[in-house]
Structure 1
Amino acid sequence: MNKSLHNYFTTGEFAKLCGVNKRTLFHYHDIGLFCPAIIDENGYRYYSYRQFDVFLIISILKELNVPLKKVKTYLDERTAERLINLSKQKITEVDREIEKLLTIKHLLE
């Protein structure tokens, strides 16, 4: 491995650290959602530890059922105001889901 790549993660390493399959990273790169920090002359992809935060945002939004196309739009146009608005919207949705599940739990008990 090139010494300049010593501080980077391979696709497999980064995928394992993030708890996803390598194919997920390939797919995200293919659709322009999340690209490697470096692609070497052999086509190998490398990720930086600085990319964990962005990947975490993608994972959280995906978990909240935000379509990947909207996640990409958010990442491309993100501002503090947009993050606050998105967070408020998702908190409202989560609160509704919690209420629904509590009602179901109460009925089952």
Structure 2
Amino acid sequence: MTMKVKEVADLVGISVRTLHHYDEIGLLTPEETTESGYRLYSEGNIETLQQILFFKELGFPLKQIKEIINSPSFDRNEALQMHRKMLLEKRKRLDQMIQTVEKTIQHMKGEIQMTNKEKFEGFDFSHNPYEQEARERWGNQAVEKANKKLADMSKEERSNFEETFNSIYRKLAEIRHMAPESKEAQVGIQEWYEFLNKMGHYSLDAFKGLGQMYVDDERFTKNIDQFGEGLAQFMCKAMAVFAEKNKA
């Protein structure tokens, strides 16, 4: 059974224009388009749309969502399990906040006394660990794509790539003793970010996660520190600063 675009829009609670846009960019192509131009969506399209909205909730850009759901390694069940963990964590926080609201009402009526600590129970401004896990899981698609692109390069292209790669690292090594948030450090890290995105697609969170890997994985640390001792640690901090600054 197929559904028309207006029916899908009403079912999901999004606009018809949004569905048209998803079709235009190749993110969600309807199962069939009639001679009259009507888009008809299948059950499979509906399932794909659910996944798209799941990743939008995580903050992924549409371009990256397209790469993820079209990847041969994408596992829909894995994505749903991740979504479930996130919702359970969110429900736990909401239950705590509801209790805080109820206790605050009683406190205002003079029925109970609340400590300052109790007034903020349920508030959690730290990063959702499951959200970070999801970002790291699917952010790895960028690494896989970059490796494939590198493998497909000609000898000359690979030589130019290595020359640019080494040049960026040498420049970063020269300023590794500066503060990671300094202008010089951020200019150098931006060059590294732009270089990586020529090879694949790195979200800001994936870029930050990659920097963390530089210090968590001793193999990365050893290779990077060949350009200068402490470079891996410097890049990790500078990449984190860059990611957070550019989210604003």
TM-score interval, smaller chain: 0.5 to 0.7
Say if 2:33 and 2:40, in contact at 8 Å, map to a contact too.
yes
Cα 1:33–1:64 shift into 2, 3 Å: same
Residue 51 of structure 1: how far off its partner (Å): 1.8
RCO higher in structure (CA 8 A, sep ≥6): 1
1:55 corresponds in structure 2 to: 49
Structure with greater Cα Rg = 2
Report how many aligned residue pairs link the two structures: 90
CA offset digits 1:1-38 (Å, max 9, x no partner): xxxxxx31110001111111100100000000001110
Say if 2:68 and 2:74, in contact at 8 Å, map to a contact too.
no
Query: Which AA in structure 2 matches 1:102?
Result: D
Cα 1:59–1:81 shift into 2, 3 Å: closer
Give me the whole-angstrom Cα distance separating, in 2, the residues matched to 1:45 and 1:70: 24
2:19 corresponds in structure 1 to: 25
Give me the whole-angstrom Cα distance separating, in 2, the residues matched to 1:22 and 1:31: 15
Residue 103 of structure 1: how far off its partner (Å): 5.2
Q: Provide the TM-score with structure 2 as the length reference.
A: 0.32
Aligned equivalent of 1:43, options 25, 34, 37: 37
Q: Provide the alpha-carbon RMSD of the alignment.
A: 3.0
Task: List gaps (5 residues or longer) in structure 1.
Answer: 1-6, 105-109
Query: Which AA in structure 1 matches 2:47?
Result: D
Cα 1:41–1:74 shift into 2, 3 Å: same
Task: List gaps (5 residues or longer) in structure 2.
Answer: 94-122, 127-248
Say if 2:9 and 2:19, in contact at 8 Å, map to a contact too.
yes
